[in-house]
Chain A
Amino acid sequence: MLSNIGISLVVLIIILSFLIIYIAILDLKTSNQFIKKNIYKLSLFQITFTVLCFFTLIIGFINSDFSLINVYENSHTTKPFFYKIAGTWGNHEGSLLLWVNILVIFSYLFLIFNHSHDKKFRLYTLIFQNILILGFLFFLLLNSNPFNSIYPIPLEGLGLNPILQDPALAIHPPLLYVGFVGCSIYFSAAMASLISGYSGKLFAQSIKTWVKISWCFQTLGIIVGSIWAYYELGWGGFWFWDPVENASLLPWFAITALMHSLIVLEKRNALYYWVIILCLSTFILSVTGTFLVRSGILNSVHTFASDPSRGIYILLFLSLMIFSALTIFFKKYKKETYIFNLKSRETFILANNWFMVFFLLTVLIGILYPIFLDVLTNVKISVGPPFFNIVIIPLVVPLMFLMAIGPKFGWIKSQNKMFHKILLLILGAIIINLLIFYFFGKYSFLSNSIFIAAIFLILYSLLDIKKIFNNKNKMELPRIISHLSFGLLVFFIGINHQFSLEEDFNLKVGEIKKTNDYEINFEDIKIKENKNYKAVIGNFRLTNLKNNLAQYLEPEIRIYSNPETLTYEAAIKTKITSDLYLTMSNVSRSDYYNIKFQKKPFMIWIWISALMITLGGFMQLTLKKNED
């Protein structure tokens, strides 16, 4: 029954989308200043049915309705309630339905919140957005339908993958999709802007809230994914430059560049075509990322189970999007001249874009090069963390300097008064850097530069905050917080990387391992039977040799029976100053256990800094509302 309801709703939404496009085209021709009331009504129906459709699927999961293949494959009667719901979007078909929902929701919101803008522009945006919606709906209906039914109805589901039952992993996709899919609206708006000619400052104002929203959620989604990876995957890292992670980073660089360029477009009515290119590229990158991740073309820890027909459809959709965007762009492109002073804020924003595009293209090249090489020469190579770290990290140094001083320049032209302040702060940063390394003893040219640049950015931002409290002008606060937090993030990642302790060794029960700083005593093993898994729990006593304090860590090996999987649960003790991290795995056919021990300084501050970057973004959203 649910299957019929679901499919009927999908068909209804398709019909509505066609109707909206048709009536919008008709309305374009009228000279009436206001958009026809019918279009609002149709959009309201569209969003209602779309959300209802999604709820239909959720109900299927909650009720463990195995007549739906999607529920059968991805759920189980014994799954906890919260994870049953999260299972809705934790699979390919369900997540596609979530994509459609976000496309429709953003379409509706853009329509009703942009009354003050040009009618033709709004109508064209609606038309393009609905074309995108139709594209996804057809994909869903014909290829990846979550409402396909199965008969006879199975008694029990297959989907009890324990790794997927985690709170962070449950909210990570929706957060990320608001970012990934939210940028569809300014893709459509950019196309609309080119065709209708509605450009410049007003165009910037129409999309800026949406750009900020998608930026905040994309950032938050990526952070939550990293937090999950750290706590759940058992290798103590949080970023692996894995293709799926990279796919989420590509739009992020574009949105960040866009967010900054929009400021220039709004304030100085310059960089219009560059902003359009960024708007078009962001959603194109999102769909490219989706293609790479879901088509099976890449080999990764995170890939969804793949199916070649999916890849073909997404590739087709991507091609159509790129070609239509390129065609319309080149048709409407007119030469612009900019007059930028070297010492002006516009130039520094250009510099930000320069770096963001560089990072973006580097990551893109890193992902695509092995594919191209394999297809063209049949040679398979791996491009992993060392490549990205070597190429990207050195350039974060100048980026941070620019982040500190850039915003201090005025629009159009600026004076030289800050130079002494800059040098004093650099000196302060160097001294702090030297103190760190004098007392804790590790050096390298690159790490020095990173720390100096990060500390410089931090100090500069703190001074800025002090200035704000003095003259009560809160406008700059969100930006300062985000920039400051970026400096803090780089700083803590640097400290973490330089001063981490890592050990990898084999131990039998009862044995002791001594390192320079710790004594690790493998006291015993106990076995615990849980509801759906058997846990082999290791009891480790860790003694800090410097202060003789001991604590216990209990990593686990979990043996699940349905489906038969093995997971390794790390024992993590998070404190303000550092995290202690211990994983245990058994060495086949032996009494030995392979132990990985890590001490990671200031780990929690990495998360805090990252979240504060997002906080700055959310503050920007709420602050601006008060201004308007």
Chain B
Amino acid sequence: MKKKFIFFIFYFLFLVPLNSNDNKTELLEIYKNLRCLVCQGQSIADSNSDFAATVKLVVQDQIKEGKTKDEVYTFLISKYGEWIVYQPTFSKGNLLLWIMPYFIFIVGGLIIFLIIRKSKSIKAN
């Protein structure tokens, strides 16, 4: 009975297809990931500055040409530096950044696991 339920759950979770992206939401997603260089902490999507307007045009052109959003990011990073994207790149320099949180999570789980196990052995004695 238990096993059937668990199978049931996973069947439904995996059955549903993954996100289908349409162009317009992709554009907005890119705008939100780009940092406005002349503003204090705003994305290209939120900024009303001249620079933001120009970048939007360039991004629109590139998407129309068929480039992927990663190619757009790489292009802008080559012109403006990594600072312009809000999502840190998965490069060697940023490895620590992406790995540390999950590492901490695993360590935390390990600590709790060890406490429980030790409790069991204390009770057994």
A: which residues have CB within 8 A of B? 234-235, 237, 240, 242, 299-303, 337-342, 347, 350-351, 354, 357-358, 361-362, 365-366, 369, 373, 377, 379-387, 390-391, 395, 419, 423, 426-427, 430, 434, 437, 442-445, 447-449, 452, 502-504, 568, 585, 587-588, 594
Q: How far is the CA of A365 from the CA of B100 in the complex (A)?
A: 8
Q: How far is the CB of A429 from chain B (nearest CB, A)?
A: 10
Nearest 8 CB-CB pairings of A with B: A384-B86, A386-B87, A235-B46, A585-B48, A301-B41, A444-B19, A362-B101, A354-B108
* Chain B: interface residue total (CB-CB under 8 A): 58
Q: Which of A382, A391, A504 touches B83 (beta carbons < 8 Å)? A: A382
The answer to whether B88 touches A382 (Cβ under 8 A) is yes
Residues in B neighbouring A357, C-beta threshold 8 A: 104, 108
Judge whether A385 and B28 touch: CB under 8 Å. no
Decide if B40 touches A387 in the complex (CB within 8 Å). no
Give every chain A residue within 8 A of B119 (Cβ-Cβ): 338-341
| Listed A/B pairs (30) with beta-carbon separation below 8 Å | A240-B41, A300-B41, A339-B119, A354-B109, A358-B108, A361-B100, A361-B104, A381-B93, A381-B94, A382-B35, A382-B85, A382-B88, A383-B86, A384-B33, A384-B43, A386-B33, A387-B88, A395-B105, A423-B5, A426-B9, A427-B9, A430-B13, A444-B18, A444-B19, A445-B13, A447-B19, A448-B13, A502-B25, A502-B28, A503-B24
Known pairs A358-B104, A382-B82, A384-B35; A339 contacts B122 (CB<8 A): yes
- Give chain A nearest CB distance to B94 CB in angstroms: 7
Nearest chain A CB to B80's CB is how many angstroms away? 11
Asked if A299 meets B101 with Cβ closer than 8 Å, knowing A443-B18, A445-B13, A502-B28, the reply is: no
From residue B20, how far is it (CB to closest CB) to chain A in Å? 8
Roughly how many angstroms separate A184 CA and B51 CA in the complex, as a whole number?
Answer: 44
Taking chain B's interface residues, is the majority helix, strand, or loop, or is none over half, making it mixed?
helix
Q: Which of chain A's residues have a CB closer than 8 A to the CB of B88?
A: 381-383, 387
> Are A381 and B87 in contact, with the CB atoms below 8 A?
no
Contacts of A381 in B (CB 8 A): 82-83, 88-89, 93-94
Map CB proximity to A onto B87-124 as digits: 1 under 8 Å, 0 otherwise. Answer: 11100011011101110110011011001101100110
Report the nearest A residue to B33, measured CB to CB: A386
**Bound Cα distance A306, B64 (Å):** 43
Chain B CB within 10 Å, residue with most, of A338, A382, A447: A382
- Chain B's closest residue to A423 (CB) is B5
* Known contacts A381-B88, A449-B13; is-contact A300 B116 (Cβ 8 Å): no
- CB pair A300–B16 under 8 Å, yes or no, is no
Q: Do A350 and B115 have beta carbons less than 8 Å apart?
A: yes
Q: Which residues of B contact A504 (CB under 8 A)?
A: 28, 31, 45, 56
Q: Are A340 and B116 in contact (CB under 8 A)?
A: yes
Contacts of B115 in A (CB 8 A): 338, 340, 350
Q: Report the Cα distance A302→B42, complex, angstroms.
A: 11
Interface residues of B in 3-32 (CB under 8 A from A): 5, 8-9, 12-14, 16-20, 24-25, 28, 31-32
